[in-house]
Amino acid sequence: QSVLTQPPSASGTPGQRVTISCSGSSSNIGGNYVYWYQQVPGTAPRLLIYRNNQRPSGVPDHFSGSKSGTSASLAISGLRSDDEADYYCAVWDDSLSVVVFGGGTKLTVL
Partner 1 sequence: QVQLQESGPGLVKPSQTLSLTCTVSGGAISSGSYYWSWIRQPAGKGLEWIGRFYSSGSTNYSPSLKSRVTISVDTSKNQFSLKLSSVTAADTAVYYCARGSGWSWFDPWGQGTLVTVSS
Residues interacting with partner 1, by CB under 8 A?
Answer: 2, 32-35, 37, 43-47, 50-51, 56, 88, 90-92, 96-104
Nearest-approach distance from CB 17 to partner 1, in angstroms: 25
Question: In this structure, which amino acid lies at residue 52?
Answer: N
Residue closer to partner 1, measured from CB, 77 or 94: 94
Question: Among 46, 85, 86, 78, which residue's Cα sits nearest to residue 62?
Answer: 78
Nearest-approach distance from CB 57 to partner 1, in angstroms: 11
Residue closer to partner 1, measured from CB, 13 or 68: 68
d(CA 107, CA 85): 6
Phi, psi of 50 (to 5 degrees): -125, 155
